[in-house]
Amino acid sequence: MLKTQKIVESYPISFLLSLAFCLRIYNIQSPILGVHSWRQADTAAMARNFYENGYNFFYPQIDWGGNLEGYCQTEFPIYSFIIAILYKIFGFHESIGRLLSIGFSLIAIYFLYQLCLEITCDKKLSFWSSFFYTIIPTNIYYSRTFQPESLVLMSAISGTYFFYKWIKYDENRYLFISSLLICLSCLIKVVPVFYLFFPLTYLVWQKFQYKMFSNLNLYFYALIIIVPSFSWYFHSYQIANEYGLSFGFGAERFGWNLQRSGIVFEQIIYFIAIRHLLVLGFVAMIVGMFYKRDRQEEIIFDLLFISNILYILMFANLNSFHEYYQLPLLIPASLYIGKAFVRVNYSKGLTRIILVIFLTISSLFYSLEYMAKEDPNYSELFELVQIVKQITPQNALIVATTGGDPTILYLSDRKGWIPSPSSINSTYLSDRAKEGAKYLIGGYNFVQAYQLSMEGKDKKLIQEIVYQSPHRILNNEKFFLIKL
């Protein structure tokens, strides 16, 4: 025990990165299944399409474009593009995407530790803050999924670190590196603009006050971030106008839906307090939040926390559906939890009991809520994928009743349409057949990640269509497949 403690104290970063890697490498070869598989499937499809169809960076392709080429309005596709290049070198292996995410998450943890150390000048607090950030189950999961969240967080955290270094040492190389990293984070997800603006502005104001408005370096910094970001989102908007396919960047992402405002608020609290922080972490965060600031610079984390709350409220509809959009909140939350763990006077016995309880809850939650859902042996969707691959030709266009979830298209390596079951009728199927669709497929017991069973009226209508089809291939209690 003492030897382990000595290793941690002597090599804190090595310990953190080793722990992070071990937690994230488990189940690295699992197929794209489970929680938020739809988002991973889209990202993985773009990587595969780059790899198979040519490396046209400015025109990413998805699988659900029907008989079109699949050019789609997306975020900056650098993550998928890097994976496609790695496919070229090492061959097509989905684990490459997960390993890349893990790599970015390790860099994020390294810079979080360094940022905490620079700001608090407290090695113990920096370690424990980074430790809790490392072991939070949602952070573990989304830093090894096939999606760019870990790259966004890495860019945002390291960009903030280098910006602080510029403020502290006034070396323009730090400012330039920061501008590139913050630009990258905003290109991939526009939301870092909302939660980084106030913390970075506070740092500038503390150093320059009104002279900040005459500092040319800051104008160049802003231009490096704004010009590429605006250019990409304008270009992607043109793709949406030309090809009609988009990940969704409309007004529906902002504000509250008044008809479901209570549900929205309840869901966001559920995500943050229970799924992310597992209640115990939420309580610790509240305790640490009210602990005194030893250095004025610690206000940066308060502003980061407040900015995240404002951003969550601004994008309330989005945040009520997708838990990974609250991941940036875990940065200041981890510092507050670290403070509650380090600066409150507990006995050593109580400290160990609290830590063991948190680790036990985290392990159980991660295993049951995330890892179990990636097991293909218990997935009807994966079972249907094998049927589709056996029965349908690879170049056949299919209609899958997965309500916008492209997972089945990606796993079966097919292109087609992914309507909701309620959209299925003879007219719809006739129109798709004219466009080249060859098969209708689906499962009676699942639709997408947010609808695990088909509604009764939709199920009845589809059963009638399948039963009346002269080209029925499969129809049982679980699946249906007909030729159009």
What 8-state DSSP symbol labels residue 446? -
Whether residue 454 is predicted with pLDDT greater than 90 in this model: the reply is no
Nearest to 79 by CA among 46, 38, 31, 108: 46
Sign for the CA dihedral angle at 115, 116, 120, 124 comes to negative
pLDDT, tens only, 331-340: 999 999 999 9
For helices 299-314 and 330-342, what crossing angle results, to 10°? 140
Domain residue ranges of the chain, discontinuous segments joined by +: 2-371, 379-483
- Higher-scoring residue by pLDDT: 218, 251: 218
Q: Identify residue 120 by its one-letter amino acid code.
A: T
Q: How confident is the model at residue 25 (pLDDT cuts 50, 70, 90)?
A: very high
Q: Is the dihedral of CA 412, 416, 418, 422 positive or negative?
A: negative
- Mean pLDDT for 282-303 is 92
Which among 408, 414, 371, 439 has a CA at the least distance from the CA of 38?
A: 408
When the pLDDT of each residue in the chain is averaged and rounded to a whole number, the result is 91
Mean of the pLDDT values across residues 356-377? 91
- The β-bridge partners of 71 are 61
Distance of alpha carbon 222 from alpha carbon 212, whole angstroms: 12
Q: Which of 86, 90, 75, 94 is nearest to 410 (CA)?
A: 94
Q: Is 400 helix (H, G, I), strand (E, B) or coil?
A: strand
Give pLDDT, residue 314.
Answer: 87
User: HSE (CB half, 13 Å, CA atoms) of 326?
Assistant: 25
CA–CA separation, 35 and 367 (whole Å): 12
The pTM of the full predicted model, rounded to 2 decimals, is: 0.94
Instruction: Grade residue 70 by pLDDT with cuts at 50, 70 and 90.
Output: very high
What's the average model confidence in pLDDT over 74-96? Answer: 96
Looking at the predicted structure, is the pLDDT value of residue 248 above 80? no
- pLDDT value of residue 7: 65
The pair phi, psi for residue 396, each rounded to 5°, is -75, 135
At residue 294, the pLDDT reads 87
Segment (H or E) for 475: strand 472-475
The Cα angle at residue 199 between residues 197 and 200, in degrees rounded to 5 = 65
Using CA atoms, how far apart are residues 273 and 266, in angstroms rounded to an integer? 10
- pLDDT for 198-218, tens place per residue? 999 999 999 999 999 999 999
Q: Provide mean pLDDT across the span 283-306.
A: 93
HSE-CB at 399 with a 13 A cutoff on CA atoms is: 25
Query: What does the pLDDT read at residue 9?
Result: 74
Q: Exposed/middle/buried for 336, CB within 10 Å: 0-12, 13-18, 19+?
A: buried
* Cα atoms in the 13 Å half-sphere on the side-chain side of 16: 26
What is the reported pLDDT for 256?
57
Question: H or E segment at 219?
Answer: helix 216-243
| Between 291 and 99, the higher pLDDT residue | 99
**Beta pairing partners, 451:** 448
Number of Cβ atoms within 10 Å of the Cβ of 347: 8
Q: Which of 130-139, 250-259, 279-288 has the lowest mean pLDDT?
A: 250-259
How much is the average pLDDT of 333-353?
A: 85
Q: Which two tokens stand for residue 168?
A: 């502290």
What percentage of the chain has pLDDT greater than the value 90? 77
Res 5: pLDDT: 66
